[in-house]
Amino acid sequence: MPPPATPAPSATVHPCLRTHGKEVARLHLFDWIVLLLLVATIGLLGLVQPFHRFVSQDMMADLRYPMKRSTVPDWAVPVIAVVVPMVFIVGIYIKRRNVYDLHHAILGLLFSVLITAIVTVAIKDAVGRPRPDFFWRCFPDGVPKYDNVTGDVICHGKPGAIKEGYKSFPSGHASGAFAGLGFLSWYLAGKMKAFDRRGHIAKLCIVLLPLLSATMVAVSRVTDYWHHWQDVFAGGVLGWVVASFCYLQFFPPPYSEHGMIHSFICISEQ
């Protein structure tokens, strides 16, 4: 009896390319529900009044930097952290048509940004560190007032400005930028085989470009006098750590032999 015929290579279809996107999303429905809960949590944390740390007259000497308009406005952070990475992710999907890769990349990116945002806002509210321009937020007319007994500040500025004035540590712009662009850096490293030891330094330059962009966002927060350098450093480390953790939940390390494989699900179904 002749052996069964082996199907032609052209007839073999990778399971990652066959599966419908809705089926992948259904399998990860719980993850998407958790994402919605994270969004709601961020909204609730925004309503919390941060801890008002004791600020005496002597401490005000380091908190008299002028109030400036942000070089990177608040609305630009979601664009930088989410929209920009998604453009690259969708571009790779158009080229490779891998629904697993697209789904996991978007899911990992959103988890990275949202988890970072929650941790950042929670720490801001708990620490209550004054911003470098706190004096002018507290005393917009330049006339300071302190408690005669405790020596603590008695602010008479706008409540919203005062509330934001106690949210210096850590930097949300820095943590958000490193969460989104840090995830993109990991993603590009895996897709480009940046660590294949073939000496293509140009690949590393492309991989480092998102991190450089995130660094520039972080530096702008210091030059705008919205944050102390420690705030920016802590925010950047926080965003990068969370991005790395989230990436490795969905993809192999880019330096491994499976760094180019699209996801763990793809590996298990080969």
How many angstroms separate the CA atoms of 245 and 238, rounded?
11
Report the range of poorest mean pLDDT among 39-48, 99-108, 157-166, 256-265: 256-265
Please tell me the least confidently modeled range out of 6-10, 75-79, 182-186. 6-10
Task: Please state, in angstroms and rounded to a whole number, the distance separating the CA atoms of residues 22 and 248.
Answer: 23
Q: Which range has highest mean pLDDT (46-50, 92-96, 217-221)?
A: 217-221
Compute the C-alpha angle 150/156/158, nearest 5°.
135
Q: For residues 43 and 107, what is the distance between their CA atoms, to the nearest angstrom? A: 20
Residue whose tokens read 């085989």: 193
Please indicate whether residue 227 is annotated as part of the active site.
yes
Catalytic residue, candidates 103, 227, 228, 262: 227
DSSP annotation string for 59-103: GGGGS-PPP---SS-TTHHHIIIIIHHHHHHHHHHHHH--HHHHH
CA atoms within 13 Å, Cβ hemisphere of 172: 27
Is the pLDDT at 71 greater than 90? The verdict is: yes
User: What pLDDT is attached to residue 25?
Assistant: 72
* For range 126-145, the mean pLDDT: 95
- pLDDT at residue 2, as a whole number: 53
Retrieve residue 4's tokens: 């069964």
Catalytic residue among 20, 52, 156, 173: 173
Higher pLDDT, residue 63 or 190? 63
Mean pLDDT: which of 97-106, 156-165, 191-200 is highest? 156-165
Q: Which two tokens stand for residue 214?
A: 């995130």
Question: Considering the entire predicted model, what is its pTM?
Answer: 0.84
- Among 78-92, 119-133, 181-195, the minimum mean pLDDT is found in 181-195
Q: Cα dihedral sign for 60, 66, 72, 73?
A: positive
More confident residue, 263 or 196: 196
- The β-bridge partners of 153 are 146
Whether 173 is a known active-site residue: answer: yes
pLDDT per residue as tens digits for the range 225-264: 999 999 999 999 999 999 999 999 989 888 765 544 444 4
Of 134, 138, 206, 198, residue with least CA distance to 169: 134
